[in-house]
Structure formats: C-alpha cells, structure tokens
Amino acid sequence: MSLRHNARADERAGLTLATLAFFFVMAGYYMIRPVRDQLGGAVGSQSLPLFYAVTFGVMMLLTPVFGWLVARFSRRRLLAWSYSFFIVCLLAFVPAFLAQERIGARVLGLVFYVWVSVFNLFVVSLFWSFMADIFESRQARRVFPLIALGGMGGALFGPLLTRYLVYALGVAPLLAVSAAALGLALALLLRLSARDEQIGDGRVAQAIGGSLWAGMRELWSRPFLRYMAALMLLGDGIGTLAYALMADYAKAHYADRVARTAFYNDLDLATNLLGALLQLTLTRWVLVRLGAGWGLVLPALVNIGLLVLVAAFGTGDLRIWSVAVPVLALMLVTTRGFAYGMTKPAVDALYTRVPRETRYKGKNFVETAVWRFGDVLVTSGVSLLAWLGVGVGGLGLIGAGVATASAWVARRAGRAPDLAKD
C-alpha cells in the first residue's frame, strides 16, 4: 500500500471522527442556545450591555487560566478536563431552571447567558484549535468545510429535537440531553487524539509550554492576529446589532418563554439550513479554488447588501414566495448562515498556517476576550444610538459601513505577511 494511499486513509478516518464529534458538539449547543435566547428575549435589548459586560469580565479572568492549562498539560488532558467541566455545569443548571419562576428571568438570564457564552467560545474554539493540530493547511481547505458541515448537521438536529422536547418535557430537561451530546463528542475527540498520537511523532500531543499571557502578547506582535481581532470586532458589530434588534422584536411579539424558545429555535433552524447549503455547494469550492481569504471577503459583501435592506425597510416584512418574512429575521438568518457556513471554516483554515502556540493561545484570546469586548462595545453603542433617537434604518446604514470596513480587513487578513506559505 502506497504512502499516499495511507495518508488519504488516515485523513478519511480522522475526518470521520472529527465530523461526528463536531456534530455532537453543535447538537448539544443548539439545544441550550434557544434556552439562553428566550431569557434575553424576556428582558429585551436594554439588559444586553450588562450581560455582555459581565461575560467580557469573566473572559478576561479565564483567558490566563486557559493559557496556563495549555502551557502545562497535554492536549488530551486539556480536552478531557475542559469538556468535563462544562458537562458538570450543564447538569448543575437543571434544578435552577426548574425554579426559574422563583429565581427570576433577569437573574437566571444573566448567569446562564454568561455561562453559555463562555461554553460556546471555549468549547468551539478549543475544538478548532485541535483540528488545526490534526490537519495541515492543504488538508484543512478540503476537510474543514466537511467537518463544519457535520457541525451544521448537529446544529439542525439540535433545534429539531429541541422543538419536540420543549413542548413535551419543558425547558430544564434540555440541559441534561445537551450534556449527553457533549459527552459523546468528548469520547470521539479523545479517540481522535489517541489515533493522531499513534501515527504522528508525538510532539503535538505534548504540552505547548510558554507563558500563560502569550495569547495577549501575540495580538500585538503578529499582523495576522491583529487582522483577526479587527475582523472579529467588525463582524461582531454586525452580528450583535442583529441580535439586539431581534431581542426587542421577540419581546414585543412573544409573551411566554416556551413561545420565545420555539421562535429562536426556528431562527436557528433556518440559519443552519443556510449554512449547510453553503458548505455543500459554495464554501468548499471557494476555499479550494480561490483560497481561504475569499472565504472571509464574500460574507462581508453579502452583509453590506443585507444591512442596506434593513436601512430601507426597517422592521417591516418582505414577501418571499407569498410568505411575509420580517426583514430583521432575514438579516439575522443570512448573516449567521454565512458566518457559520463560510467565514468560520475559512478562518480556521488560515490558523493551520501559524505556530501551535498561536493556534491555541492567540486564537483563543481573539475568539473569547476580543469577541466579548466587541459585544460590550456594540451593545453599549446601540443603546446610546437608540437614546439619541437613531432608528432601525439609521442603524442599518451604520452597519453597512461596518460591513464595508470588514470586507477590506478580510482581504488583508488572507495576505498577512506572517502566515506560512500554503
């Protein structure tokens, strides 16, 4: 059997394990995401600056802790401890949701919103840092859209299961089901790590070493990370604007938590259908033929058009195949669909071209602390603009300007001078 054939067989086996693992990660996350969002919808956008400020503070506290873990512990132990921690936390939230009426939506919403945000960023960021360890750059452009497609499968399965369970069992039991899905993902990732150690030289399984503050320092020393941070802030401006506007819409149109959970669940389902369609058709072609840089530029161009649409129609409806669709829902679904279906695989493919310490520490800092700083900045800005009397149309125009800047930064990021040659 040829070495090339062995390499392809190893790639296919690794791809299968990674795709299944990401399926369960995203299925578990999308079971609890509508639970989080219905709490945001219960209090409206005026509480989001507080939610995001607390989340940012928690991220700043946890970033050096994560850097310390990466520096001192092997990849396998890092995966096991991180995922096990979040599984235990999910189970601990079950009795809290059973007592939601006594605790209150604002208090429980703050705690759970912060925790789910930390869960999402650390669990997903760690998954893709691990993938950048397993696959090299050319492989990544082939397999990352397929792994992301597996995640989209889980992101479709999660809302479908949630739609059934939330009416049959209520909100709290969803957390236990999510914990079981995350446990299956952990088992698959540990198997993939052990397999990679067997066929590799063993060095990637070792602790990375270095300083726990390396992620912060690298932001100033690496042009690529600076572009990623700027792109994160600009993209977050668009995504958080859409989320804040939708929180007010949900508060105005849906009175109880089950209806809000079902509404947000439907938005997630539509988003993930679009993301899966992109990964099946356009994303892999763009990454393989045009390069990962264009996988960042094209979504930014789409966002410009969507935000101009919001500026023109505001909170009105568009008729699509004789169905009235809120413009805000269309913007939220499409921006997220392109973010998950194209931008994310492109970003993670670029991270295969940087050193391991950057993949774990620098990437984690950008995708946790920088992201949540953007949340605080944007929600505070939206609240200030609303106080000044700027309506949805004006916010749409400002967002279109942000998307234009994002397209420029995205093009520069794909050509960063410190990226290893492809």
- Cα distance between residue 137 and residue 122, in whole Å: 23
Q: Which residues are registered as beta bridge partners of 319?
A: 324
Taking a C-beta distance cutoff of 8 angstroms, is the pair 5, 100 a contact? no
- Cα distance between residue 387 and residue 395, in whole Å: 12
Going by C-alpha positions, the residue among 169, 112, 153, 168 that lies closest to residue 30 is 153
- Cα distance between residue 39 and residue 215, in whole Å: 32
- Cα distance between residue 75 and residue 308, in whole Å: 45
CA dihedral sign of residues 122, 123, 126, 128 = negative
- Cα distance between residue 247 and residue 38, in whole Å: 9
Which pLDDT tens digits describe the chain residue by residue (422 residues)? Answer: 343 444 466 677 888 999 999 999 989 888 877 776 666 555 555 566 677 777 778 777 777 777 777 777 777 888 888 899 889 988 888 887 777 667 665 677 678 877 887 787 678 878 887 887 788 877 888 888 888 888 888 878 887 887 777 777 777 778 888 899 999 999 999 998 888 777 655 445 555 544 445 556 767 778 888 898 888 888 877 877 777 777 777 777 776 766 776 777 788 788 888 988 898 889 888 888 888 889 999 999 999 998 888 888 776 667 777 667 778 888 888 998 898 889 988 888 888 888 777 777 777 778 777 777 777 777 778 778 877 888 778 888 888 888 899 999 999 988 888 887 76
Could you give the count of Cα atoms lying within 13 Å of 387 in the half-sphere of its Cβ?
Answer: 8
Going by C-alpha positions, the residue among 381, 66, 81 that lies closest to residue 241 is 381
